[in-house]
Structure 1
Amino acid sequence: MSLKKFLRSPRGQFRLPLIRSFRIVATGPKSPGLRFAEDSCSNQRELKEIPLMKRSVLNPLTTALCMAGIAGLPAIAQAQSDAVAGQPVQTLPAVTITGDREGYQPSSSTTATRTDTPSLQTPQNIQIVPQAVIRDQNALTPSEALRNVAGVQFDFGFNGSMQPLIILRGFPSASMTAMGPMSGMSTYYLDGSKVTGVPINMANVQSVEVIKGPSSVLYGRAEPGGLVNVVTKPISSVPEFSVEQTVGQRGLSRTAIEASGALNEDRTVRGRVAASYHTSNSIRDFVTDRLGAFNGSLAWVPDARTSVTATLDYTDQRYRTDYGVPAVGSRPADLPWSQQFNDSPYLSSAKTASFKLDVSHQLNDTWQIKAKFLSLRSDTSEMDISPYRVDLGAAMAPDQACPGTGNPLCRYYFYVRPNGRYQLDQFNTDLIGKFQTGDIGHTVLLGLDTYTSKKSGTTYFQQISAVDIYNPQLGGTPAFDAAMSMPTEIDDRNRWTSLYVQDQLALGNVFLTGALRHDRTSAIYAPPGTEPNKQSFTTPRLGAVWQFAPNQAIYVQYQDAVSANNGRDTVTRAPLAAERAKQFEIGHKIELFGGKLSSTVALYELTKRNRGGSVPIAVAPFYDTVTIGKARSRGVEWDVSGQLTKRLSLIASYAYTATEVTEDPTYQGKTLANVARHTASMWARYALDSQWAAAGGIFAQGQRQGDVGNTFQLPGYARVDAMLAYKFGLASSKASLQFNIDNVFNKKYYTGSHQFVQDWIKLGDPRTAKVTLRVDY
């Protein structure tokens, strides 16, 4: 049985669910009473309002016990009546007691099942990086947050540090094969909606969820390794205002301001605004990242059954991509840490605006409806210079040629897109019902999903001066000249309309899940005029959980998945079969210390079939996409996070991932690129007292193959980070000063490589010191 909190008053005793962080508000004269509000990592909601008798006071014991509740201990809140017959009624002034959850215990998530199913009863591996971890580690980029999760690794990735290309269980989150070897834009989910090529503003992130394994039954066409869902910060029902400033080495700076709270007396209208600006240079020559962001949300919550939230979001990203270093022999070239060869005279950019509408209404005691609409538009300019050892024959002068040995390297405006446009529209509605049939409990989900995305804009190819990797002469690269370039038009569209149904059955301590989805899809990546590839799919999902103890469960699941649409053969225009996948998984979950510490161990086998592949051709785009193979990933993952003691919090992971290309005319028997067999991480935070805290961690990867041909390897590494924080009062506000050192021992390491190119091996950052001042009003 879960712990409970009790509140006694002259009218009786009230029972409230255990909450880890809350506010107590003595309300005004129109509604005198105590209002308890939960502030969890994923949401905020009022739990109970208790009317006060005549004249009531919170005694000191109440306050102390409530604050103790922040650490997850049961407490008794007692309101004592001082009413005396004949005395006039007095109203208390508003009093607010606030507390922040500092432990690493994961919050609840609805992402895996689209219903509010407890993790112990969900037949899937779900990991959450809470805001407490993000803040302690001062994670300014998505990859810094995701490194805490077992089985997460990284490919090369384009578009700056705010858009990493993530690998889950051996497979990138965007297909690197279906649309040609140079694609690979960051793909993730924003509050449950799929987006591509959009920067993640970490200043507005509440938590990062990783749902491991195929999820296309509930979320549509997606890569089979899993999905990353970024949960943005919620609107508060009580007034909040904060300012945060981070500064660090090499021009690092991030300023973030946010305000949130109720806009009327009865708190039915709530709002939130946030703005941030991030800028950083790099030890790497010419590399820079800038991200300005604004977010505004307005919510109408007339009662506990209904909520409507509208959100406007705008980001302005400017960057110059770090193209890394080439391989020499079987290892990355031994070059100065600063050296890279993209000195484009332009900064690439993405200006993105989105509108999101979320509606939820409890129809009756059985049924609830949820609807979500997202419309996103992004104006892009992709103007990087790509070093590449292969001479593609477009040189206009002798100094632009290269022999193909890796030194010198040819350089190109490689399919740059000066004026691009990305647009996305998605509508989703879920009908959720909870009812009994005899002794069987049902949680039924019926859903409709429509999704449309399109990327447009002429791309250009131009060969420019080559570079000696040991003696580069950079900084004077000529401007892009469209007249000297080869233009290419590509029709890049993806659309689906889907219906899905899921039933979760509760039979005592056994929980069964069955789901089915039917998709009608249309996708194309080809010259204009090419007929889209239209296909329909029906995909199943089955799972079972045996919760053999109140805090433990074992689960098993099978999932089928629809991955990227391969479009059509570049040369023959024949339709290609879509990439598909299937997974078997078994796991064990346990929650310790009253739910403060959770652990998940999972074993899985994941197979992707109909993998697209590319063969070279003599004319633009210089490759042909065909369906040629199958690859498999097998592994063991262990994730643990939460509180070990009142002072000590921990998040740790280990993954063993064995991958193999099982069918392919060229690469059969090879290991998938950028996937280390062993990865591990551990980060621990210790509260020295009520003001001081210290933390540290280690993040390690074994050796990885750098490309699909396994022609070179990225060496393994272990990186150590540390943190020291101090909290103090500042007038009537709370403040904290935090000092982080990343890569304490200045270890030189490599984060990933483009799997089709030997010349783009990305390095990690050297030792970096950061200081953050945060003030909460």
Structure 2
Amino acid sequence: MKSQRLKIFFWQSILLTGSAVVFTIKPVRVVALPIIAAKIPASNQQLLPRTRITKSVTTIREIRRLIDAQKLVQSPTPLQAEVITVTGVKVNSTDKGLEVVLETGVKSDRLQVTPKTEGNSYVADIPNAQLRLASGNTFRQSKPVAGITEVSVTNIDGNTLRVTVTGESSAPAVELFDSNEGLVFGVTSSAITGQQPKPPQQKPSSSENQAPIELEVTAPPETGYNPIDTAVGTRTNTPLRDIPQTVNVIPQQVITDQHILYIGDALKNVGVSAEREPGSQDRFIIRGFNSSFGNILIDGLRGFSLGGSAALNLNNIERVEVLRGPASVLYGRAGLGGVVNLVTKPPLKDPYYSADFSIGNFNSYRGSLDFSGPLTTNKNVSYRFNASYLNSDSFIDFYNEERYQFAGALSWDIDRNTKLTFNSSYGDYNSSLTNEGLPAIGTLYPNPNGKVPISRYVGEVGTTDIITTRLSYKIEHHFNDNWSIENAFGLLNVKIDNSPIGRGVPIALQPDNETLTRRRFVQVGESFQNGTDLNTLVTGQFKTGSLEHQLIVGTEYAWSFVNGYNQNFTASSINIFNPVYGFGGGGTLSNQSSSSTNAYNLGVYAQDLITLSQNFKLVLGGRYDWTWQTNDNKLASTSTNFSSEAFSPRVGIVYQPIKPLSLYASYARSFVPQAGLTATGQAFQPQDGTQYEIGAKADLLGDKLSVDLALFDLTQSNILTNDPNNSGFSIPVGEANSKGVELFITGEISPGWNVIASYAYANPRVTEDNSIPVGKELPGAAQNIASLWTTYIIPKGNLKGFGAGLGLYYVGDRFVDSANTLKLPNYVRTDAALFYRQEKFDAALNFQNLFDINYFEGAFGSTPVNTTVYYGYPFTVNFTLRWKF
């Protein structure tokens, strides 16, 4: 039966992609060029004829990063000069080094190159040229061949393109060639020639030509720890240093190195704590405020709500982004702490195939596939297919989870200005029980009867099945080099089916300190959520006098529907030291609810990134939202309607005294609608938030290492609190404030040595409330959170490819209850890894909680007898093999 279900799900996923794809791995015909060393003159260079060779060479994979360097500083060029568009960048290896091809579609002699040498880098500026790749407007490739550390092609302003080739010990020698494809930079690597490049004595002879060769071309995902751009902060791909707000990126390389399977494990790298809650969901706390699963985006569109993080699968996720602080100016309703954006893996232009398999303790085993490549000879249609399967027990008795996912993406470059991308995913998460936690007495506090084992389960064994289906598309069209439009649509369906036996939810520990009272929670039938999100965005670049603008104007319409029927029964107690499972007679029905909720949101927004001068940038933005919500009580046959409006502004200034350093200050607001009525029948005002932030961002070691520092002051208003004049009602007059500082370091310290580290301090406290004393800390929020993860891979020599990683994660103590009477202790967890990496093969051994400490991830309750705590995972080990072919 299980194998039949797997087959059905597989073919469903294939159908979701919109096309059937036959994967064939075979060599691809390519042609490489010879490069002869040449010194670079101080003025514009003359293009030499391009020639061909037939010596066997290895073609370097082409990486197209989804980043778009902003064009903010205009170069002084004649107004009548035509801007030539570069539509593609290729990097191919040669017997002398490599070649960089700028595809223009016109004769490259129309491009004027002004070269110079800066340290170990050859830098060439090309006026009247702009980079417009189908997948972004910046190209960057690290370590394409021995002796060359990086090749990059970027737009440095609205009229000028820059090509940078950085050598390991000295600037490489470069010669220019003309070709039918465009302009070719021939680079000679000293590591390949065995000596420093010398000037050529003559041009290559055509008599050296031989027949082209066939070889395999691969295009792996992005690598490295330090992405330089992101779209989550501005809805356009923008350099991180130009965004006046803190943005963290957990790239694919970190996810791979740490063997990350769950979103909470990724967020621990950037000072975000994930508190466990019933239902195996995570409550993310950013800057002291709850930023739970309702604040998750997928490719900038609304993500999960029902089912929460338990349904998330990172198999098809390229990287995880965190926008800290208010995000309502771009994304509408969003918590004050921040939003998390999951960026899916894009289709690649060149063939890429990988498979991995891992095994670990707790009877864990997992396998995944990642296939991508072109479907047409001209590569205007490409695909991506991801599949994964996981089966694992746990440290909790009787627990087993099984999850699998199929995801497909299809990209079509309709023409050089228009691109259409489809995405789909189908996932099934099945577990044998819901983590109900353990009583605080016997774990957090002493119990005269002894310590409760960490593996004890006090609920009832049943099943939870969460099925998630997601479809989306995005179409982008460039009217010209300055104006474009983008339309994106997402459709989400989540179904949750729990065992009809129901859950045994803990209530309180009795005076004998061994009998735990419980309630029986039953979900009748399926609970489900349907949601859609439609966003249209127009982007334009223009000048008003000496000011340069990057303007976005957009509109968003979102809808969600949630339906569920739940019942609560009295249930038999359980002995926490000698449990006997089963509800007996099933209990007496105490309460039930059957409801559905329709929520609608319409927002219009605009933002302008203004270049005031070469050193100053100003961000002005605003969004207005209208929300409507209808709650239907099916048992009482009643319906309640709520509506609200909110304006969310954003102002930020960035000062860049030198290129690698940005100083900024910003102000922003957020809002979250609140359902319900006051005693007088008025709808609650939205919960709103305000943030003031100042900070600094520095790119060091040739942009390989980034350091971010931020100070913030957040205030959350209109928090619901008890109405002192009307018992049983609430009024939105509560307020909380959080002040703090954050430090983030990420990138490459030296060849082979990478690091991602963070420190976050926040002091969230109640500043106004009718029932909670002013000054109390918000529950679940640790004041201090720190992390360090570093890896070193030996880059050359006999031990090339061997490496190791070490991680330290600190979470400070935090209160469980709003009265601040119960506190979870701090902890330090140690992780480690061993690696062996080759071009076509990887092996890794990952250790989590290396010293097997007992620690608590979260808890809820108000007194010791009714508090439930959740342990973090004990010592865990996984061994992974990965093949690339």
TM-score tier after normalising by the smaller chain length: 0.7 to 0.9
- Residue in structure 1 matching 2:206, options 55, 79, 84: 84
Tell me, yes or no, if structure 1 residue 653 matches structure 2 residue 762. no
| Structure-2 separation of matches of 1:679 and 1:467 | 36
Residue number in structure 2 paired with 1:751: 857
Tell me, yes or no, if structure 1 residue 173 matches structure 2 residue 291. yes
Residue number in structure 2 paired with 1:562: 671
Letter in 1 for 2:274: F
Q: Map Cα deviations across residues 264-317 of structure 1 (whole Å, 9 max, x no partner).
A: 100011111111112222111233332211101111013442210111210111
| Structure-1 separation of matches of 2:340 and 2:822 | 29
What pairs with 1:712-723 in structure 2 (closer than 5 Å)? 712-723=822-833
Q: 1:422: Cα distance to partner? A: 0.5
- Residue in structure 2 matching 1:359, options 475, 479, 498: 475
Once structures 1 and 2 are overlaid, which stretch shifts more, 196-205 or 124-133? Answer: 196-205
What pairs with 1:281-320 in structure 2 (closer than 5 Å)? 281-319=393-431, 320=433
| Structure-2 separation of matches of 1:43 and 1:461 | 52
Letter in 2 for 1:372: A
Q: Map Cα deviations across residues 644-680 of structure 1 (whole Å, 9 max, x no partner).
A: 1112111100011101011112212211111111111
Once structures 1 and 2 are overlaid, which stretch shifts more, 413-422 or 58-67? Answer: 58-67
Structure 1 residues 325 and 564, CA, compared in 2 at 3 Å: closer, same or farther? farther
Structure 1 residues 492 and 474, CA, compared in 2 at 3 Å: closer, same or farther? farther
Structure 1 residues 615 and 749, CA, compared in 2 at 3 Å: closer, same or farther? farther
- Tell me, what secondary structure is at the counterpart of 1:144? helix
| Structure-1 separation of matches of 2:469 and 2:868 | 31
Q: Map Cα deviations across residues 413-461 of structure 1 (whole Å, 9 max, x no partner).
A: 3363531111001100100001111111100010010011111021111
Larger Rg: 2
Q: 1:537: Cα distance to partner? A: 1.4
Q: Tell me, yes or no, if the aligned pair for 2:564 and 2:596 is still in contact at 8 Å.
A: no
- Tell me, what secondary structure is at the counterpart of 1:532? strand
Q: Map Cα deviations across residues 439-495 of structure 1 (whole Å, 9 max, x no partner).
A: 1110001001001111102111122111233x24243346978x9574312232321
Structure 1 residues 349 and 753, CA, compared in 2 at 3 Å: closer, same or farther? same
Residue number in structure 2 paired with 1:397: none
Letter in 2 for 1:134: I
Q: Map Cα deviations across residues 320-354 of structure 1 (whole Å, 9 max, x no partner).
A: 3212122239945642111231223x211211111
Q: 1:613: Cα distance to partner? A: 4.4
| Structure-2 separation of matches of 1:50 and 1:71 | 14
Q: 1:590: Cα distance to partner? A: 0.3
Q: Map Cα deviations across residues 202-232 of structure 1 (whole Å, 9 max, x no partner).
A: 2211111010001011101011100011111
Letter in 2 for 1:761: V
- Residue in structure 1 matching 2:661, options 552, 572, 577: 552
Tell me, yes or no, if structure 1 residue 379 matches structure 2 residue 495. yes
What pairs with 1:321-720 in structure 2 (closer than 5 Å)? 321-328=434-441, 331-332=444-445, 334-344=451-461, 346-383=462-499, 385-389=503-507, 408-414=515-521, 416-469=523-576, 471-477=577-583, 484=589, 486-508=591-613, 509-524=615-630, 527=633, 529-568=638-677, 574-613=682-721, 626-668=731-773, 669-689=775-795, 690-720=800-830
What pairs with 1:273-284 in structure 2 (closer than 5 Å)? 273-284=385-396
- Tell me, what secondary structure is at the counterpart of 2:526? strand
Q: Tell me, yes or no, if the aligned pair for 2:61 and 2:91 is still in contact at 8 Å.
A: no
Residue number in structure 1 paired with 2:128: none
- Residue in structure 1 matching 2:254, options 111, 114, 133: 133
Q: Tell me, yes or no, if the aligned pair for 1:41 and 1:207 is still in contact at 8 Å.
A: no
| Structure-2 separation of matches of 1:84 and 1:421 | 68
Q: Map Cα deviations across residues 524-582 of structure 1 (whole Å, 9 max, x no partner).
A: 5563533321111122111111111110011111111112423335x876421211111
Q: Map Cα deviations across residues 18-55 of structure 1 (whole Å, 9 max, x no partner).
A: xxxxxxxx9999xxx99983243779999645799xxx
| Structure-2 separation of matches of 1:573 and 1:51 | 66
What pairs with 1:146-225 in structure 2 (closer than 5 Å)? 146-150=267-271, 152-160=272-280, 163-174=281-292, 187-195=295-303, 196=305, 197-198=307-308, 199-225=311-337
Percentage identity across aligned positions? 28
Q: 1:374: Cα distance to partner? A: 0.5
Q: Map Cα deviations across residues 147-189 of structure 1 (whole Å, 9 max, x no partner).
A: 0002x112333443xx422111111114xxxxxxxxxx56411
Q: 1:685: Cα distance to partner? A: 0.5
Letter in 1 for 2:291: S
Q: 1:8: Cα distance to partner? A: 9.3
| Structure-1 separation of matches of 2:737 and 2:522 | 32
Q: 1:385: Cα distance to partner? A: 2.0
Q: Tell me, yes or no, if the aligned pair for 1:244 and 1:255 is still in contact at 8 Å.
A: yes
Q: Tell me, yes or no, if the aligned pair for 2:349 and 2:382 is still in contact at 8 Å.
A: yes
Q: Tell me, yes or no, if the aligned pair for 2:217 and 2:351 is still in contact at 8 Å.
A: no
Letter in 1 for 2:358: T
Q: Tell me, yes or no, if the aligned pair for 2:858 and 2:870 is still in contact at 8 Å.
A: yes
Structure 1 residues 216 and 288, CA, compared in 2 at 3 Å: closer, same or farther? farther
Q: Tell me, yes or no, if the aligned pair for 1:456 and 1:491 is still in contact at 8 Å.
A: yes
| Structure-2 separation of matches of 1:743 and 1:573 | 52
Q: Map Cα deviations across residues 388-430 of structure 1 (whole Å, 9 max, x no partner).
A: 335xxxxxxxxxxx75897532222336353111100110010
| Structure-2 separation of matches of 1:212 and 1:406 | 43
Q: 1:78: Cα distance to partner? A: 2.3
Q: 1:93: Cα distance to partner? A: 3.4
| Structure-2 separation of matches of 1:615 and 1:485 | 27
Q: How many residue pairs are counted as aligned between the two chains?
A: 716
Residue number in structure 1 paired with 2:376: 264
| Structure-1 separation of matches of 2:513 and 2:819 | 16
- Tell me, what secondary structure is at the counterpart of 1:133? helix
| Structure 2 portions without partners, runs of 5+ | 1-32, 41-50, 70-84, 100-142, 152-165, 175-184, 188-201
| Structure-1 separation of matches of 2:91 and 2:261 | 44
| Structure-2 separation of matches of 1:314 and 1:468 | 40
Letter in 1 for 2:815: Q
Q: Tell me, yes or no, if the aligned pair for 2:531 and 2:559 is still in contact at 8 Å.
A: yes
| Structure-1 separation of matches of 2:517 and 2:91 | 75
| Structure-2 separation of matches of 1:229 and 1:116 | 14
- Tell me, what secondary structure is at the counterpart of 2:605? strand
Q: Tell me, yes or no, if the aligned pair for 2:347 and 2:373 is still in contact at 8 Å.
A: yes
Structure 1 residues 135 and 97, CA, compared in 2 at 3 Å: closer, same or farther? closer
- Tell me, what secondary structure is at the counterpart of 1:145? helix
Once structures 1 and 2 are overlaid, which stretch shifts more, 693-702 or 278-287? Answer: 278-287
Structure 1 residues 428 and 491, CA, compared in 2 at 3 Å: closer, same or farther? same
Letter in 2 for 1:350: I
| Structure-2 separation of matches of 1:41 and 1:253 | 32
Tell me, yes or no, if structure 1 residue 725 matches structure 2 residue 835. yes
Structure 1 residues 289 and 485, CA, compared in 2 at 3 Å: closer, same or farther? farther
